[in-house]
Amino acid sequence: MTKGRRRRIVALVVLGLPALYLAVTFVQVLQAARRDDAPPSQAIVVMGAAQYDGVPSPALQARLDHVVDLWDRKVAPTVVVTGGKQPGDRFTEATASATYLTAHGIPQSSILRETNGRSTYQSLADASAILKRRKITRVVLVSDAYHSARIQGIASELGLDATVSPIGSDHGLNAKLAVRYAEETAVVAAARIVGFRRVVGVSSRVREQAPVG
C-alpha cells in the first residue's frame, strides 16, 4: 500500500467516524421524539417554558395540558413543575404551571415545585434532589418532542429512572424543526462523551415562546 493511499484511508476514517457518530445520534434523537412512553410511575416532571405574568405561554400550556391528560390517566400520583424566573418577572415558571394545573383539577398537595432552574440541567438536577428526598426515582418527563433524548439523558445521569412522554411527537420535519434537531443532536452527541453537566453551557434553555410549526 502506498503512502498516499494510506493517508487517504486515515483521512476517511478520521472524518468518517465523527460523521457516522453524528448521523447515528441524529437518528436516535429523532426516534426518541417519536416515542411516547408513559408507564405507571411515581411522578410526572414537566419542563418549564416561558410564562407571562403568571400566565403560561402557548408552549408551556401545551405541556401542562399533556400533564393533565397523564394525571387523568393515573400515570403518577405526583407532579413536579419546574423553572425559575427571568429578571423582572413576578412569577416563576413553576408557579405559573402549578396555578394552571390546580385550575385544571390537580390538587396542590400533589404538586411539587422546583423554582430555581434557569437551564434544563439545573431544573432537572434540582427536581431530582426534591424527588430523591421523597424516595422517588421512577418518573415520566414531559417536554417538546425534540428535547426527548436530551432530557432523558440528563435524567439518567442524575440517577432517575425516566421515560419521556413528549407533546407534539414529530412525524415530519420542516426547516425550523430540522434546525432544532440538529442542535439537539450536537448537544446529545457531545454530552454522551463528556457528560451532560459539562455541556450545560452549550445547551439552550427549554423556553420557547411558541411551538415550532
Average pLDDT, the chain: 86
Q: List Cβ neighbours of 90 (8 Å cut-off, separation of 6 or more).
A: 53, 54
The predicted structure's pLDDT at residue 132:
96
The predicted structure's pLDDT at residue 114:
95
The predicted structure's pLDDT at residue 53:
92
pLDDT at 208 over 80: no
Question: All domains of the chain, ordered by start, with CATH?
Answer: 31-199 (3.40.50.620)
Q: What is the DSSP letter of 174?
A: -
**Exposure letters 121-140 (e unless 16+ CB within 10 A, then b):** bbbbbbbbebbeeeebbebb
The predicted structure's pLDDT at residue 205:
45
Strands 51-52 and 55-56: antiparallel
The predicted structure's pLDDT at residue 102:
97
Helices (H) and strands (E) in the chain, counts: 6, 7
The one-letter code for the residue type at 29 is: V
The predicted structure's pLDDT at residue 203:
45
What tens digit of pLDDT does each residue of 117-139 get? Answer: 888 999 999 999 999 999 999 99
Among 37, 34, 67, 56, residue whose Cα is nearest residue 147 = 34
Residue 162 in 3-state DSSP?
A: strand
User: Predicted confidence band at 13 (pLDDT cuts at 50, 70, 90)?
Assistant: low
Among 33, 34, 35, 22, residue whose Cα is nearest residue 185 = 22
Alpha carbon distances (Å) from 122 to 21, 47, 82, 133, 204:
27, 11, 10, 17, 12
Q: List Cβ neighbours of 73 (8 Å cut-off, separation of 6 or more).
A: 38
C-alpha cell at 164: 419521556
pLDDT at 8 over 70: no
What tens digit of pLDDT does each residue of 172-182 get? Answer: 667 778 888 89
Residue whose cell numbers read 438536577: 125
C-alpha cell at 106: 390537580
What tens digit of pLDDT does each residue of 41-95 get? Answer: 999 999 999 999 999 999 999 999 999 999 999 999 999 999 998 888 899 999 9
The one-letter code for the residue type at 79 is: V
The predicted structure's pLDDT at residue 88:
81
Rg value, the chain, Cα: 19
User: Predicted confidence band at 169 (pLDDT cuts at 50, 70, 90)?
Assistant: low
> How large a percentage of the chain has pLDDT more than 70?
83
